[in-house]
């Protein structure tokens, strides 16, 4: 029912002297039923009662009384206070609460203000059964001749209530959410989005297209759109076509997920699954039983939207799924994904592989130029970033599969293995991280906020290349150990604070070498020589740093430095024997005993 028709009927109902029936207001959860009803009835006539958590009829009567007569709610409070009281007189126990209740309860039940409109809300949250609720409602309609409005928020509760309503419900009204009015209110609390005139109507129209009736979801989605907007830069906002694609995709996926129609894994799979749907779901195609079993729950979702709406390439699907699933908006990843899309790829200096990935949307001349540039970069060893390298490797196999280049999979594999080996030989291959990073392997799955283009036909090749790349990067790290050891010795010679930072960190940030067994690359005798070249008052500081480094070392990678530490202690003893008296004792006391006990 429209807002005008709702107002007209409620005006008619309110002006009835003794209607003898209640009005049932129905509608989907979050559609704004309570808001519309309270706006349609004058405030001074409202007796709005939530049934949420009310477990017996007496509590309903008490709540209605307190709402009708806020100045006389003392009687209800007395009833609540005395309900469980007991007293004993001459050995006879009697219920004082029951006695007080027997006096006050009828007063509450029989006292009403017929000018008030009783609005029972949250019907589905009331633990009482429908028969009990109907008995209470009937008391107000039949005996007190009150006007009663009942709000049912979910369909099952509504249907159950209708089944047992007898003659109590005289009219049922289906509420239609006032989407435009609600959206305007929600936009006002999001200043930036409210001023983005090109996108506001798109969000509203997209919401309507989803057939979602929940204004709560509309509010959440508008708030989410504002958060997304805050991640964007002027260059993106000026591209109206790109922004329309972005916010259309974002709103559709957000709304459908909140409505329970798609899962996070569904969102991740949209680009591939939509293609399979388009192939198998055409009317003139024979249905594939396997496809039907896997995609049955997604079919309705795909039917509602065009490919340009949910597969427009503006935002990586895994990134989108992560945003929707976690509520976290990683600005850098979002910008990288946008800049790598066909809307912006030509405006930024992107690797040629990212241009090739967008072949669906770019002219053939641009794609051919990018392919040539990619292989020229291979030839000149310009591709050293791991993410760009992985993208380029994967796209090479895809180009071979599509007969765009002449090389076979085997030839590409040999070329890529050789390329990695040459980078390692030329000291151009980025080493594995020195720090522990739980997300270290993410670079082998996606980069530039885009997942790698991998088909089943060449998955095994990519797996072998990835393993070789990881192994070679570890060698690259170890090849840099001489540089690292010199850095440590330089710090030991001239800056003990930096030495401490390198080996330990500062408590919140790990040290550059706190998680690698680098010290065993330094001859113990050389380390001791640098140590003893320090002023005497600095000697103990080095020992304290070593003791701290090996705390808990028996259970981590530093366990590999155990032999090095033992040899260092032997050299300390050898050095001490070359001296006498306090000088000898001072050197002997440098042995990091706490470190030795840690293993």
pLDDT at site 294: 54
CA 260 to CA 274: how far, in whole Å? 19
Name the strand (E) or helix (H) holding 247: helix 240-258
Mean pLDDT of 165-191: 83
Return the structure tokens found at 199. Answer: 């996108």
290 with 204, same domain: the answer is yes
Answer yes or no: is 93 within a domain: no
Contact partners, residue 508, CB within 8 Å, separation at least 6: none
CA 304 to CA 312: how far, in whole Å? 15
Nearest 10 degrees: Cα torsion 312, 315, 319, 325: -70
Residue 112 has, within 13 A of its CA and on its CB side, a CA count of 23
Q: What is the residue range of 552's domain?
A: 481-597
**Which phi and psi angles does 418 have, rounded to 5°?**
-65, -40
Domain count, the chain: 4
Answer yes or no: is 591 within a domain: yes
SS3 351: coil
Contact 6, 149 (CB under 8 A): no
Look at residue 385 and tell me whether its pLDDT is greater than 90: yes
445 with 505, same domain: the answer is no
363 with 401, same domain: the answer is yes
Contact 117, 139 (CB under 8 A): no
pLDDT digits (tens, 9 = 90+) for 79-122: 454 454 444 434 433 343 443 444 456 777 888 898 999 999 88
470 with 368, same domain: the answer is yes
Residue 207 burial (CB count, 10 A): 25
Per-residue CA distances from 340 to 222, 229, 357, 443 (Å): 26, 18, 9, 16
SS3 148: strand
**% of the chain residues with pLDDT over 90:** 52
215 with 252, same domain: the answer is yes
pLDDT at site 280: 58
Among 520, 501, 525, 519, CA closest to 573: 525
Look at residue 1 and tell me whether its pLDDT is greater than 70: no
What secondary structure letter does DSSP report for 431?
A: P
Name the strand (E) or helix (H) holding 120: strand 117-121
**Which phi and psi angles does 105 have, rounded to 5°?**
-55, -45
Mean pLDDT of 224-242: 93
Answer yes or no: is 269 within a domain: no
Among 24, 256, 333, 21, CA closest to 151: 24
SS3 160: helix
| Segment among 62-66, 109-113, 575-579 with least mean pLDDT | 109-113
pLDDT digits (tens, 9 = 90+) for 103-115: 456 777 888 898 9
Single residue among 461, 479, 497 that ends a domain in this structure: 479
Pick the most confident of 16-30, 156-170, 353-367: 353-367
Burial 463-499 (b: 16+ CB within 10 A, else e): eebbeebeebbeebbeeebeebbebbbebbeeeeeeb
Answer yes or no: is 299 within a domain: yes
Q: DSSP alpha helices (H): ranges in 281-408?
A: 289-304, 307-310, 317-326, 331-340, 352-357, 364-379, 386-401
28 with 167, same domain: the answer is yes
Look at residue 487 and tell me whether its pLDDT is greater than 60: yes
588 with 576, same domain: the answer is yes
29 with 171, same domain: the answer is yes
Mean pLDDT of 260-272: 88
Among 329, 319, 342, CA closest to 225: 329
pLDDT band for position 252 (cuts 50, 70, 90): very high
Mean pLDDT of 185-210: 91
Name the strand (E) or helix (H) holding 519: none
216 with 127, same domain: the answer is no
pLDDT band for position 278 (cuts 50, 70, 90): low
Look at residue 13 and tell me whether its pLDDT is greater than 50: yes
Answer yes or no: is 92 within a domain: no
User: Which of 432 and 555 is assigned the larger pLDDT?
Assistant: 432
pLDDT at site 459: 96
Single residue among 444, 479, 514 that ends a domain in this structure: 479
Mean pLDDT of 47-61: 89
Nearest 10 degrees: Cα torsion 329, 330, 332, 334: -50
pLDDT at site 98: 41
SS3 170: strand
- Do the strands 450-451 and 446-447 form a parallel or antiparallel pair, or are they unpaired? antiparallel
116 with 189, same domain: the answer is no
Mean pLDDT of 481-486: 94
pLDDT at site 131: 81
Single residue among 157, 176, 195 that ends a domain in this structure: 176
What secondary structure letter does DSSP report for 32?
A: S
pLDDT digits (tens, 9 = 90+) for 346-373: 766 789 999 999 898 889 999 999 999 9
Look at residue 237 and tell me whether its pLDDT is greater than 60: yes
Contact 539, 514 (CB under 8 A): no
Instruction: Please report, for the domain that includes residue 11, its CATH number.
Output: 3.40.50.300
Answer yes or no: is 140 within a domain: yes
pLDDT at site 163: 61
**Which phi and psi angles does 46 have, rounded to 5°?**
-80, 135
Return the structure tokens found at 151. Answer: 């709000």
46 strand-pairing partners: 117
Return the structure tokens found at 497. Answer: 């604070």
pLDDT at site 160: 60
SS3 329: coil
CA 320 to CA 325: how far, in whole Å? 8
pLDDT digits (tens, 9 = 90+) for 529-545: 999 999 999 999 999 99
pLDDT at site 293: 52
Mean pLDDT of 548-570: 90
Contact 50, 195 (CB under 8 A): no
Among 123, 134, 155, 159, CA closest to 49: 123
393 with 293, same domain: the answer is no
User: Percent helix, strand, coil in the chain (nearest 5)?
Assistant: 65, 5, 30
Per the prediction, the chain carries an average pLDDT of 86
pLDDT digits (tens, 9 = 90+) for 114-152: 899 999 988 878 888 878 888 888 889 988 999 999 988
Q: How far apart are the first and last CA of the chain?
A: 77
The position carrying tokens 């000026």 is 238
pLDDT band for position 319 (cuts 50, 70, 90): very high
87 strand-pairing partners: 94
Per-residue CA distances from 98 to 55, 84, 111, 214, 354 (Å): 18, 8, 20, 45, 79
pLDDT at site 82: 47
385 with 426, same domain: the answer is yes
Answer yes or no: is 315 within a domain: no
CA 344 to CA 257: how far, in whole Å? 28
Answer yes or no: is 98 within a domain: no
């Amino acid at each position: 029912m429209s807002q005008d028709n709702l107002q007209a009927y409620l005006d008619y109902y309110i002006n009835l002297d003794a209607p003898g029936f209640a009005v049932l207001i129905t509608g989907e959860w979050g559609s704004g039923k309570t808001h519309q009803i309270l706006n349609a009835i004058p405030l001074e006539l409202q007796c709005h009662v939530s049934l949420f958590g009310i477990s017996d009829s007496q509590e309903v009567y008490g709540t209605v009384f307190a709402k009708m007569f806020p100045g006389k709610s003392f009687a209800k409070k007395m009833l609540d206070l005395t309900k469980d009281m007991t007293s004993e007189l001459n050995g006879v126990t009697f219920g004082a609460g029951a006695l007080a209740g027997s006096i006050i309860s009828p007063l509450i039940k029989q006292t009403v203000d017929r000018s008030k409109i009783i609005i029972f809300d949250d019907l589905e949250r009331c633990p009482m059964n429908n028969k009990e609720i109907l008995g209470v409602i009937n008391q107000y309609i039949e005996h007190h001749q009150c006007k009663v409005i009942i709000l049912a928020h979910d369909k099952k509760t509504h249907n159950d209530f209708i089944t047992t309503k007898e003659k109590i419900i005289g009219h049922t009204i289906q509420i239609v959410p006032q989407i435009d009015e609600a959206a305007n209110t929600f936009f006002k609390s999001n200043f930036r989005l409210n001023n983005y005139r090109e996108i506001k109507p798109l969000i509203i129209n997209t919401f309507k297209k989803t057939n979602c009736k929940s204004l709560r979801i509309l509010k959440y989605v508008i708030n989410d759109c504002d958060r997304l907007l805050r991640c964007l830069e002027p260059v993106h906002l000026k591209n109206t076509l790109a922004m329309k694609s972005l916010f259309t995709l974002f709103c559709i996926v957000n709304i459908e997920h909140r409505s329970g129609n798609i899962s996070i894994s569904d969102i991740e799979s949209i680009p591939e699954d939509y293609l399979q749907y388009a192939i198998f779901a055409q009317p003139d195609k024979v249905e594939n039983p396997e496809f039907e079993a896997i995609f049955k729950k997604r079919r309705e979702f795909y039917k509602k939207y065009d490919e340009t709406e949910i597969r427009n390439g503006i935002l990586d699907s895994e990134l989108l799924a992560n945003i929707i699933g976690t509520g976290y908006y990683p600005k850098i990843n979002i910008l990288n994904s946008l800049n790598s899309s066909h809307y912006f790829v030509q405006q930024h200096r992107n690797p040629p592989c990212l241009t090739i990935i967008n072949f669906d949307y770019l002219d053939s001349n641009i794609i051919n130029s990018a392919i040539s540039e990619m292989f020229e970069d291979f030839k000149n060893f310009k591709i050293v970033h791991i993410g760009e390298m992985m993208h380029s490797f994967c796209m090479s196999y895809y180009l071979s599969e599509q007969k765009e280049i002449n090389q076979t999979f085997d030839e590409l594999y040999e070329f890529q293995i050789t390329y990695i080996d040459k980078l390692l030989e030329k000291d151009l291959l980025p080493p594995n991280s020195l720090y522990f990073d739980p997300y270290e392997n993410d670079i082998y799955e996606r980069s530039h906020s885009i997942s790698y283009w991998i088909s089943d036909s060449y998955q095994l090749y990519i797996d072998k290349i990835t393993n070789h790349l990881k192994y070679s990067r570890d060698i690259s790290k170890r090849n840099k150990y001489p540089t690292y050891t010199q850095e440590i010795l330089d710090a030991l010679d001239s800056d003990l604070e930096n030495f401490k930072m390198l080996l330990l960190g500062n408590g919140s940030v790990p040290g550059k070498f706190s998680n690698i067994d680098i010290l065993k690359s330094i001859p113990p005798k050389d380390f001791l020589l640098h140590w003893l070249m320090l002023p005497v008052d600095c000697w103990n500081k080095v020992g304290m740093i070593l003791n701290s480094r090996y705390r808990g070392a028996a259970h981590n990678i530093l366990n590999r430095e155990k032999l090095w530490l033992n040899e260092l202690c032997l050299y300390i003893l050898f050095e001490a024997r070359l001296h006498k008296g306090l000088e000898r004792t001072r050197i002997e006391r440098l042995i990091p005993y706490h470190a030795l006990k840690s293993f």
